[in-house]
Structure 1
Amino acid sequence: MRSASQDFVSLFDADTRAAISSGLCIQCRGAKLLCGKARCPILVRWDSMMKTAPMIDRVDLDGSSPPAVFVGRFGYPKVFVGPLVPPVHGDTQILDAPEEWVGHSIEDIVRFRSTLVRGMHRVHVRDVDRGGRIVDLTRELALGTLPADVEVGFDRKPRGRVVLDDNVQPFGPSAPLRRFDLGTLHVDQHLDRATSDTDLRAKDAVLDLYGRGLPVSKIQRAFSVGAFDRFLVVMVPRPWRYELIEAWYPNTLWNPLGREVVMFGDHEGFEGRTTYASIGGCYYAARLAIGESLERERRQAATVILRETHPGYIMPVGVWNVREHVRAALRQPPRLFSSMKETVDHLRTRLDIPMERYVGMSEVLQHVIHQRTFDDYAAN
């Protein structure tokens, strides 16, 4: 028999449990913020868990899936898959629609995700076709476009930690899946065709679906079967170059105990990259948004994204945050400048960190500032 305190502690990973057991959290109790964060992440998670717990305190659950599915990675090649089910009915699309999360608080996003209960059914990735009815229905649910009524039965009551990872949106409680029934499902015809065409390569299918305007999150879901950020995008009419520079203030997710702003980034030239970006998936999420914009304009550019993350970003919510905020930035009317000096002078008014620090570590900014073009000579 597990106590309530044991269930609460199970919400956190080993490092967090060690911090709790050290006594620091007892001294603080969410009031003094001794961990250096702007808000207590324990209270944020606890609040979300307490709102959901009474509704999932049973082994049978029914609700409207956004639709959403879970495909795990631990234990590969034998991984857990299953539906994500909230204990509520109606329009639940917001719970699994990162494209709609821009402007919502971190508390909102954690609440969205902690409402979704993960049904866990283990399957071998090389033998999915023989995974049984639960796997078949999970794959079908992944193709849905509107909320679908779902009934599930678990081997035990759902419990477990709210999973927080910087590369994926948060996940909520889970339980081994015993039964899975799916109601009427509205399936996107393009997704259905793409996944059933055995002659179509996955790469080509993804590009086709993306070209048809399907949200990235829906494509990811089918093929997987920020409010505290400031993003400034600089585009210079030069051959393709791309760079993302991030600046994390003290008391933020990846700089919780620091006294100084920490900056890091990565870049690529016209030939692209041959190695994985050191700053991870956010590099590629932002690059997608840039590529979309340039494709629409039928242009290429040397592009630098400057991201300042201020106190308040206390837990990861996934690379969608970067992708959607860069998209949002690019939807704004651009400011046009006739020289890099004017551009840099304007950036000084929009950023808290001195531009000298950005220029000092930016390969692309240094290139466009110091590399003269034929137009420069013609102007003289």
Structure 2
Amino acid sequence: MRINPALCIRCRGEYNLCGLSYCPVLAELRAKYTLKNVVNRERVDGSSPPSIFVGRIGYPKVNVYPAIPPIHGDTSNLENPKTWLNMKLEDFISSRLSLIRGSIKVRVGDARNPPRALHDVQVMALSSGPVDSELVLERPVGVRYVFDEHSPPFGPSSPLRELKVDSLPPPPRIVDKVYSDTDLNATEAIWSLYSHGIDVHHISRLLSVGALGVGKRRRLVPTRWSITAVDKHVSDKLLSEVRDYPLISEYRVYVRSIRDNTFIGILAPHTWLYEWAEAWWPGSTWNVWGGDVVLELDYEGYWGRDDYPSIGGCYYAARIAVLEALRSMRRQAAVILWREIYPGFNLPIGVWWVRENIRAMFNGPYERFYDLRDALNYVAGFLRLPISTWVSRSYVIKVLTKQSSLVNWLGGR
């Protein structure tokens, strides 16, 4: 069957919009990596970074997967998105697929009074460093890998017979404090951890295993949901601060090109507005079978938004990164974030890719302009889609200028 590529870009393996009971894009990827990464073992002994994945199938009864690579030592880079940007994509994927998982079937409410295996998983998640541990599995691991739009890849899994934990580095003091405070709600716990320097990747793991929130309400949260929840909660809090800052005084343009991706950031002298847009070329991850470039965009006004963006978790991953940048400048701006994805980038590796690239982009150099037309003229030199296509779809540009002259000027570009 021929699948409309626009459906793939909206769905990204999550909603079965094509009508199939499985995602054909992910099925092709799993078949490809099955040939290269078949693992046959019933025991896995190593140092977990720590790494845990919580599934969503069957909710409110879900599978929890502690994950261990078959190596001992400092494996913390396997769970550190800041280091992943500097790795070759093939090396990153290979290292992540080495994380072999043992599955435990539990109810989400078991986080409040966990059975022994789940308690050990929670304690692992709190740890400040790699945890020497062993998985004893019911049978040799299969060949099903996790490729997901939200979370980074994970290796194969098998039902867990026993989890053995040999050593546990103590958690950071603030993590232990928040975990022990059963009167602190989850939103406040997330912000407290972030304010004390705990990265959102670590916070989402804690939320996922049910280690945060009011004691009687704690529950497991599927990993893909916890990642977006943390990005949203933290960026909402950052936005409440940024809206009180003075406006930026000029247009700033940031550009980052990396691994068949181009990221564009434009900060405009205006109160908070925000848009995130992605243009997927034929042959890229979510436009495998298409013949044309598909552009998807979502946005918000000054007060943010209450509904979930159709473009998915990348919206909030990019949002937190730009709000971190504005907070460090102590300035407010209207924000345009555009991304072009070209053939060759054909693996879903998680929203960390967007978050860390936007962070890196705003930590880099920028060009200053005092006219929107000049800023867009500069941006046009880095994009493959005509700038007129981007402008015609842009919410923020429509708000910034209601004059037709800008669109007319761009019409032939």
Name the TM-score, length of structure 2 as normaliser.
0.77
| Counterpart contact for 1:99–1:217, Cα < 8 Å | no
Contact 2:274/2:396, CA 8 A, preserved across alignment: yes
Match of residue 94 from structure 2: 111
What is the Cα deviation at residue 109 of structure 1?
2.7
Work out whether 1:261 is the aligned partner of 2:293: yes
2:302 is matched with which residue? 270
Q: Structure 1's 122 and 15: CA in aligned 2 closer, same or farther, altered over 3 A?
A: closer
1:168-187 to 2 correspondence within 5 Å? 168-186=151-169, 187=171
In structure 1, the residue matched to 2:381 is: 349
Q: Contact between 1:102 and 1:227, CA under 8 Å: does it hold in 2?
A: no
Question: Structure 2 matches for 1:199-210, cutoff 5 A?
Answer: 199-210=183-194
Q: Is the 8 A contact 2:269 2:334 kept in 1?
A: yes
User: Take 2:113 and 2:303, find their aligned partners in 1: how far apart are those partners?
Assistant: 42
- Find the aligned partners of 2:275 and 2:127 in 1 and give their Cα distance: 36
1:83 corresponding residue in structure 2? 66
Matching residue's letter, 1:98: P
- Could you say which residue in structure 2 is the equivalent of 1:97? 80
Query: What are the residue-to-residue correspondences of 1:274-353 with 2, within 5 Å?
Result: 274-353=306-385
Q: Could you say which residue in structure 1 is the equivalent of 2:177?
A: 193
Residue aligned with 1:169, SS: coil
- Deviation of 1:158 after TM superposition, in Å, equals 1.1
- 1:46 aligns to 2:43 (yes or no): no
Find the residue that maps to 1:165 and give its secondary structure.
Answer: coil
SS at match of 1:266: strand
Partner of 2:17: none
Q: Which whole-Å deviations, capped at 9, do the CAs of 1:286-324 have from their partners, x for residues lacking one? A: 001011111111211100001010111112011111111
| Residue of structure 2 equivalent to 1:162 | 145
Structure 2 CA distance for aligned equivalents of residues 331 and 148 of structure 1: 32
* Higher alpha-carbon deviation: 219-228 or 294-303: 219-228
Cα offset, 1:14, TM superposition: 4.6
CA distance in 2 between counterparts of 1:64 and 1:275 reads 40
Alpha-carbon distance in structure 1 between the residues aligned to 2:184 and 2:270: 36
Say which is worse superposed, 303-312 or 159-168, in terms of deviation.
159-168
Instruction: Letter of the 2:154 partner, please give it.
Output: F
Instruction: Provide the residue aligned with 1:36 in structure 2.
Output: none
Structure ID, larger Rg: 1
Match of 1:247 in 2: 279
**Conserved in 2, the CA contact under 8 Å of 1:105 and 1:227?**
no
**CA deviation after TM superposition for structure 1 residue 371, in Å:** 6.7
1:127 deviates by 2.5
Matched, 1:72 2:104: no
Q: Distance in 1 between matches of 2:186 and 2:143?
A: 34
Q: Which amino acid aligns with 2:132?
A: D
Q: 1:42 to 1:78 in 2, by over 3 A?
A: closer
Q: Number of residue pairs matched?
A: 335
The Cα of 1:15 is off from its aligned counterpart by 5.2
State the distance in 1 between where 2:83 and 2:138 align: 34
Give unpaired runs (5+ residues) of structure 1: 1-12, 21-39, 373-380
Distance 1:70 1:360 in 2: 40
Query: 1:120 aligned to 2:103?
Result: yes
Indicate the SS of the match to 1:127. helix
Is the CA contact (8 Å cut-off) linking 2:104 and 2:159 kept in structure 1?
A: yes
Deviates more, 1:363-372 or 1:211-220: 363-372
Residue by residue, what CA displacement relative to the aligned partner does 1:315-373 show, whole Å, maximum 9, x if unpaired? Answer: 2011111111100110112211111111011001111111100000001012223379x
Output one character per residue of 1:96-142: Cα deviation in whole Å (capped at 9) or x when no partner: 22232114343223212210011111111113344321111100000
Stretch deviating more after TM superposition (169-178 or 126-135): 126-135
Equivalent pairs: percent with the same residue? Answer: 39
Q: Distance in 2 between the 1:205 and 1:129 partners?
A: 16
Q: Is the 8 A contact 1:104 1:227 kept in 2?
A: no
Matched, 1:228 2:217: no
Match of 1:10 in 2: none
CA distance in 2, matches of 1:17, 1:295: 38
Question: Any conservation in 1 of the 2:34–2:143 contact (CA below 8 Å)?
Answer: no
Does 2:129 correspond to 1:146? yes
Q: 2: CA distance between counterparts of 1:103 and 1:134?
A: 35
1:131–1:212 Cα change, 3 Å: closer
1:6 counterpart residue number: none
Instruction: Give how far 1:17 is off.
Output: 9.9
**Unmatched segments (≥5 aa) in structure 2:** 1-20, 210-257, 405-413
- Tell which deviates more after alignment, 305-314 or 158-167: 158-167
Cα deviations by residue, 1:61-114 (Å, 9 ceiling, x for unpaired): 210101111212111111111411111111211222223211434322321221
> How far apart, CA to CA, are the structure 2 residues paired with 1:202 and 1:164?
28
Selected match of 1:132 from 115, 126, 145: 115
Q: Distance in 1 between matches of 2:41 and 2:364?
A: 47
The 2-side partners of 1:89 and 1:297 are apart by: 41
Change over 3 Å in CA distance of 1:17–1:281 after alignment to 2: closer
Deviation of residue 46 (structure 1)?
3.0
